[in-house]
Chains A and B, each alone.
Chain A
Amino acid sequence: MNEMTTVTTAKDWASDQEVRWCPGCGDYAVLKAVQRTMPDLGVAREKTVFVSGIGCSSRFPYYMASYGFHTIHGRAPAFATGIKLANPELDVWIITGDGDALSIGGNHTMHVLRRNLDCQILLFNNEIYGLTKGQYSPTSRVGTRSPSTPFGSVDRPVTPCMFALGSGARFVARGIDVHKNLPDVLKAAHAHKGASFVEIYQNCIVYNDEVFASFTDRGVAAEKQLWLKAGEKMLFAGGAKGLALDTEKLMLKIVEGDDPAVLVHDPQNKGIAAMLIEMPPEFPMALGVIYEDPRPTFETAVIEQNRSAAEGKAPDLQALVSRGQSWQVTKEPREL
């Protein structure tokens, strides 16, 4: 990535295209947050590529005044891989949804994470298929009634951040569409070198309204949101409560805020990260950067191997086609 910082404003990042999401959709808030965050990253528009699959959220690239590629359902990580390998200078963002990334594209999500391609993956999770008019998704809770599940869904949902962690992601974070902390999460994702997986709880006002109300409603937010910060205590409810490790049961427990056992957030602790991701309903929702432990990136390894394999060898097309066991024919074709 370019070391030089580029000065832009949020307005510079808005394209001239009319935004066409439903009024009140959480996607608007995420778009604004991203456009507001880009100037703080000091990156240039021409070096930025937003790549998306298919779904409501995947229209996102059209609204950014950078380069953008709206591809096919579920495959954005594969396109991003080709783009980044072809030009590692580019700052690549993948915009996807719960169906796009975890249903039709689950395979590619797994592999882009395990390979650790340097990119930011923003998964807009609204627990529903919006663009196809409201069928249940792989993150929908059991019992979700939808046109395709009129009696309620029966299959258990996937937890996106657990899927990411299990796939070998080295950066796993969560945010909320309308929350003021979202830009900070995006900045952390961008600062991380490697595949940064960010699940954004996004409200679908038409087909799944209020599905995250149990922790996003203003009234319960303090009690039900735990914003993690590296090196700081895991406190919520205005500092009145905290999380500690039940060493007997090897699971998290809620304790008083002033309890000396309250854990300090260490993003490199994968075991605690897993517990934070899958806390039971009576616990708060863990948000912010849950896990971060950088490793060398895929494109760096590919480029380095190509460089070292090519070392000392000059490309010579004529020599290449002449290679192998060859023989010289000197005589003219026989005369008849």
Chain B
Amino acid sequence: MELRNATRSRVKDSYVATATHLLTEKEAHAHPEPEAVVVRFAGDSGDGMQLTGGQFTLSTALAGNDLATFPDFPAEIRAPQGTTFGVSAFQINFGSCSIETAGDQPDVLIAMNPAALKVNVDQLRDGGLIIADEGEFTPRNLTKAGYEANPLEDGSLARWQLVHFNISQLTLDAVKPFGLGNKEALRCKNMWTLGLALWMFDRDREPIVQWLRTKFAKAPELAEANIAALNAGHAYGETVEMGAPFKQHHIAPAPAEPGLYRTVTGAEALALGLVAGSQLAGLQMFFGSYPITPASPLLHHLARLKEYGIVTFQAEDEIAAICAAIGASYAGQLGVTSSSGPGIALKTEALGLAVMTELPLVVVNSQRGGPSTGLPTKTEQSDLYQAIYGRNADSPLPVIAARSPADAFDCAIEACRIATRYMTPVMLLTDGYIANAAEPWKVPDMSGYEPFPVQFHDTPPAEGEGVMPYARDCDLARPWIRPGTPGLEHRIGGIEKQPGTGNIDYSPQAHAEMTRIRAAKVAKVAESIPDQDVCLGEPSGELAVVGWGSTFGPIHQAVRRCRNRGLDVSHIHVRHIWPLPGNLGELLRGYRRVIVPEMNSGQFKTVLRDQYLVDARPLTKVSGHPFRIAEIEAAIEEALA
């Protein structure tokens, strides 16, 4: 019972932890227009935009703003320079209020070349600011981007405020003393731009300077050149008078619960959560994985944490990765594997074996746009059916979904808890957006987490009695017997078995009974998860907006805005996708209407309809980009019209 309470309180807590600050109703009214800015850095994939964005994020977090980011990069490692499909962008939304999405429309677009301008400018809000590197707006680059005339000169950008200067040349001038080649010198352009952005938002340069010195420890001249570029960009902002649009902004720190904060990406939070989960279970972790976008960062993070008893295994393929993880679980470690949709598809047969042999396993799916190779670097939530139903035969397993980078930490712990307590594979869903995005995270107090130590079965049967590897405890879980335990030698496998003994048994009775038990065991997970709550609004009323996964941010903000306008709408966010919380059906029936926004063609909507016979309506988006708050607001208004 204590464990249940602990889990429950964590879920509550994580509200605070996911965003630096959770706005109260009162506060939302007091600040109808919270001060927040959305900045989008866009350039060629070789321009270092992700790095620039990452460092800007760090300095913003250090300045005490709440923030959310959206890295948006091409699938190609180095697409041909200057082309529209080679554009890489990084968007950050930050402010003195609670930030839960990367922002609908940028207020500021920094375009490092014509292609970056072309791809991103339409998303800029009317009247927003464009800062362009005119040095890159050469006839050749304009042609590559598909411009017939130079947009910096032909008045076509009149909807926005435009400033342009020759960042390339200014950078070359700034790094001249360091004697770099032209190409290397131009690589410092991103730091020049970052320096300018730091000036615009009154940010401290020192952490970036330190970071550059560490990064280029082996090439001090590169460190100094980059620092010079950074300082030059900053000084440019300070000294050049560009007129009204180009001014320094000061964004006050966001109010936050007292405590220690850090920024965290979903992949980092997942890695930390898995380490914490295995430690709370008292187990060593075995992580088998095969590189795939956007799941690989998890492997990279875990590979460095050897002192936590983690073995990472880069397998020859997705199948070997999961099979080795199952083998490790069989031998008494916590097996974990991770991939994205296409890789999960390859793991499917082995997942069935984990269901059949009832071994603990955590499977992380960082979803991307599909089918097939689809959109490897874009985000989607379209593997929900795959997670719940995507195996041959009746092979149920628990599914949980993280809603934000920080939430991935608690979800990973929860996945480890369910896997070991119920002896079952667990699917943990995140997505490309969560994996790559960063947000401030209130560092959790680990002593607040209740351990869930695993008990291996090691008592040999009484004389004359056989080993019972498929006996059941009160949760219907079978005993976990490690090879190496004397007197408990037994054989398991994928063939249907007799209840209790686990001996091969194809009989109709055995199959019917084992199928029933496997399903009942997974259904029982619902008894140890919190009841579904309403995260914003009333527990009944006109309209519930039901979400899962990374749509949390935009749904939450949209519901809040609508409630501030007096609309009767509530936000329900579901973490436990399978089994669903026991009270969810009843809760949903308390609303006249239910809409389910998701980044797929309506998968969770179908699950809810099937499970509860409620008239859940879909709001779908499959563009590879997260929902905009306004899109959900419009759907709420329409539903209530």
Question: Is chain B found bound to chain A in the same assembly?
Answer: yes
| A interface, CB within 8 angstroms of B | 15-17, 44-47, 49, 51, 61-62, 64-73, 75, 77-83, 85-87, 89-90, 107-108, 110-111, 302, 305-306, 309-310, 313-315, 317-318, 320-334, 336
Contact A67 B491 (CB under 8 A): yes
| Smallest CB gap from B276: residue in A | A317
Contacts of A46 in B (CB 8 A): 483-489
Contacts of A315 in B (CB 8 A): 279, 307-309
| Smallest CB gap from B280: residue in A | A317
Picked from B309, B485, B493, B503, the residue with its CB within 8 Å of the CB of A69 is B493
| Smallest CB gap from A77: residue in B | B320
| Smallest CB gap from A314: residue in B | B307
Contacts A107-B316, A313-B307, A317-B275 known; A85 to B324 CB distance under 8 Å? Answer: yes
Contact A66 B330 (CB under 8 A): no
**Most chain A beta-carbon contacts within 10 A, residue among B264, B331, B352:** B331
Picked from A49, A70, A72, A314, the residue with its CB within 8 Å of the CB of B483 is A49
Task: Map CB proximity to A onto B227-264 as digits: 1 under 8 Å, 0 otherwise.
Answer: 00000000000000000000000000001111111111
With the chains together, A5 CA to B618 CA distance in Å?
A: 66
With the chains together, A231 CA to B342 CA distance in Å?
A: 52
Contacts of A75 in B (CB 8 A): 319-320, 323, 350
Contact A326 B286 (CB under 8 A): no
Picked from A79, A87, A327, A333, the residue with its CB within 8 Å of the CB of B255 is A333
Contacts of A330 in B (CB 8 A): 258
Q: Which of B311-343 contact A (CB under 8 A)?
A: 311, 313, 315-317, 319-321, 323-333, 335
With the chains together, A86 CA to B310 CA distance in Å?
A: 10
Contacts of B493 in A (CB 8 A): 61-62, 68-71
With the chains together, A78 CA to B319 CA distance in Å?
A: 8
Interface size for B (C-beta < 8 A) is 81
A318 CB to nearest B CB, Å: 5
A286 CB to nearest B CB, Å: 29
With the chains together, A323 CA to B21 CA distance in Å?
A: 21
| B interface, CB within 8 angstroms of A | 20-21, 24, 26-27, 30, 58, 61-62, 64, 207, 255-264, 272, 275-276, 279, 284, 286, 288, 305-309, 311, 313, 315-317, 319-321, 323-333, 335, 349-350, 352-353, 357, 409, 443-447, 466, 482-495, 503-504
Contacts of A306 in B (CB 8 A): 306, 311
A sample of 29 cross-chain residue pairs with beta-carbon separation below 8 angstroms, ordered by A number, consists of A17-B503, A45-B489, A67-B483, A69-B491, A72-B353, A72-B494, A73-B349, A75-B350, A77-B320, A78-B316, A78-B320, A81-B315, A82-B286, A82-B325, A82-B327, A83-B328, A83-B483, A85-B313, A86-B331, A86-B332, A87-B484, A90-B483, A313-B306, A321-B443, A325-B61, A325-B62, A327-B62, A329-B258, A329-B261
A-B interface, 8 closest residue pairs, ranked by CB to CB distance from nearest: A82-B327, A70-B493, A82-B324, A78-B323, A68-B491, A86-B331, A78-B320, A79-B327
Contact A82 B335 (CB under 8 A): yes
With the chains together, A15 CA to B349 CA distance in Å?
A: 28
Contact A82 B353 (CB under 8 A): no
With the chains together, A315 CA to B331 CA distance in Å?
A: 23
Contact A86 B62 (CB under 8 A): no
| Smallest CB gap from B353: residue in A | A72
**Most chain B beta-carbon contacts within 10 A, residue among A61, A65, A85, A328:** A85
With the chains together, A326 CA to B442 CA distance in Å?
A: 9
With the chains together, A70 CA to B353 CA distance in Å?
A: 10
Contact B486 A329 (CB under 8 A): no
Contact A82 B328 (CB under 8 A): yes
Contact A72 B350 (CB under 8 A): yes
Contact A81 B320 (CB under 8 A): yes
| Smallest CB gap from B63: residue in A | A327
Q: With A315-B308, A327-B262 given, can you name 16 additional A-B contacts, CB distance below 8 Å?
A: A17-B491, A66-B489, A69-B330, A71-B323, A72-B352, A75-B323, A78-B327, A82-B327, A82-B331, A90-B483, A302-B311, A317-B275, A320-B275, A322-B443, A332-B258, A336-B27
Contacts of B492 in A (CB 8 A): 68-70
With the chains together, A324 CA to B257 CA distance in Å?
A: 20
A209 CB to nearest B CB, Å: 27
B621 CB to nearest A CB, Å: 33
Contact A321 B286 (CB under 8 A): no
Contact A62 B504 (CB under 8 A): yes
Contacts of A320 in B (CB 8 A): 272, 275, 305, 308
**Most chain A beta-carbon contacts within 10 A, residue among B64, B264, B316, B490:** B316
| Smallest CB gap from A79: residue in B | B327
**Most chain B beta-carbon contacts within 10 A, residue among A313, A320, A327, A330:** A327
A236 CB to nearest B CB, Å: 39
Contact A331 B311 (CB under 8 A): no
| Smallest CB gap from B262: residue in A | A326
Contacts A317-B275, A320-B272, A325-B263 known; A81 to B491 CB distance under 8 Å? Answer: no
Contact A90 B484 (CB under 8 A): yes
Contact A17 B490 (CB under 8 A): no
Contacts of A80 in B (CB 8 A): 327
Contacts of B24 in A (CB 8 A): 336
| Smallest CB gap from B487: residue in A | A46
Contact B263 A86 (CB under 8 A): no
A259 CB to nearest B CB, Å: 46
Contacts A83-B331, A108-B316 known; A321 to B491 CB distance under 8 Å? Answer: no
**Most chain A beta-carbon contacts within 10 A, residue among B264, B320, B353, B488:** B320
B27 CB to nearest A CB, Å: 5
Contacts of B495 in A (CB 8 A): 70
B361 CB to nearest A CB, Å: 11
With the chains together, A315 CA to B259 CA distance in Å?
A: 23
With the chains together, A233 CA to B430 CA distance in Å?
A: 63
With the chains together, A315 CA to B409 CA distance in Å?
A: 18
With the chains together, A320 CA to B273 CA distance in Å?
A: 11
